[in-house]
Amino acid sequence: MRLVVTVAMTLVSARAGAFHFKVHEETTKEALKFLKAGVVSEITAKKHKEEIVITKGFVMKQIVKRPQDLHFDDCDYEGSTKRIRKEFKAAVQEIVKSKKQLAGADEFGAALHTIQDFYAHSNWVESGITELVDSRLSNWKPLTTWDEIGDAVLVGRIPGRISTPLDSVLSQTPPASVVSLKGRVVKVKLSLGTPRSRERKGIITGTYPKSDKENCIKEAKLGHWKELPTEITHPEVDRGGLNKDDHLRPNSQKAINLAVKQTRHEWCRLVHMVFEKGGAEAANRLIDNWVNDKAAAEAHCPSPATTWHGPPVQFNPLKSLRPGN
């Protein structure tokens, strides 16, 4: 679900028309229909320079290096959530200090890009999970390998461990763990011989060629694509791998549906964080500047919010800002 700039598309064969580079934009527009059109356009207009390079790479039938933390690639949960937290913090600061209508929209859009890619580039939906990965209202929880999220666990190399040719699963994962991969489904059994030894769903994200580093373990590793021939395979041909970037990819609609739901929740998170940082004045200014349909916007904000990472938050960002509350 990478939103990229179409570059020299007239030079690409007709088959390349199957690449839906605007799925990010479509997802955001569907999720945030209650915002003003100009605001949504600014949010979706956040274009990353490296995406232009990637698009040119497709035109030239080449794979180019890209930062995995931008797209949740290579089991880099820590890097990607760090990026999300940074963008949210920047968005909130811009909104609180500036009275401009579009303040913070670029940063919010950048955060959404990475957030939506979690569902497109992981096996979350293949694992049968229908909940959001983070449904809190405060900034995103920093995630790293072997964090547990409900009945799921994030699988990957232990941070800081150096890979060697003699590595086994026990040297790369918590002691006495068993990891198995079948299709796109990973099963994990942690801490054998203890009450926590029941089987869990293992979450991985696809490996991407020429990434900065490898965080996935060999016992549970799947590529962004199944394989890469000399020339790039178009998505309608290469049906393997984990990516759900194109509408024709397996399970893409399930990933899009969750990305839409998560994106709506990110609006609630943004209002909550602005309220916490700048008070009711800043939050009301954000709502007045951005929202076209306040009733619809309010309907999407949970009260109370549920979470896997802590106690429920008794807070409805919009309702609490009504006069008299």
- pLDDT reported for residue 195: 55
Share of the chain above pLDDT 90, in %: 43
- pLDDT reported for residue 174: 56
Identify whether 173 is part of a domain: no
Give the pLDDT mean for 42-58. Answer: 56
Computed over every residue of the chain, the mean pLDDT equals 76
Identify whether 157 is part of a domain: no
Q: What are phi and psi of 129, to 5 degrees?
A: -90, 130
Give the pLDDT mean for 147-172. Answer: 65
Q: Identify the domain containing residue 33 by its residue range.
A: 9-142+222-321
- Of 57-66, 272-281, 288-297, the one with minimum mean pLDDT is 57-66
Per-residue pLDDT at 128 exceeds 90:
yes
- pLDDT reported for residue 265: 95
Per-residue pLDDT at 321 exceeds 80:
no
Structural domain count of the chain: 1
Give the pLDDT mean for 80-103. Answer: 96
CA–CA gap between residue 189 and residue 296 (Å, rounded): 43
Identify whether 108 is part of a domain: yes
Give the pLDDT mean for 135-148. Answer: 92
Per-residue pLDDT at 167 exceeds 90:
no
Identify whether 261 is part of a domain: yes
The C-alpha torsion from 150 through 152 and 157 to 161, rounded to 10°, is: 30
Identify whether 165 is part of a domain: no
DSSP 198: S
- pLDDT reported for residue 298: 85
Identify whether 20 is part of a domain: yes
- pLDDT reported for residue 222: 85
Share of the chain above pLDDT 70, in %: 66
Identify whether 189 is part of a domain: no
- Of 5-14, 96-105, 146-155, the one with minimum mean pLDDT is 5-14
Distance (Å) of CA 2 to CA 72, 256, 322: 11, 12, 37
Give the pLDDT mean for 253-276. Answer: 95
The residue among 252 and 198 whose pLDDT is bigger is 252
Instruction: Give the chain's length.
Output: 325
- 190, 196 Cβ separation under 8 angstroms: yes
CA–CA gap between residue 122 and residue 243 (Å, rounded): 7
- 70, 113 Cβ separation under 8 angstroms: yes
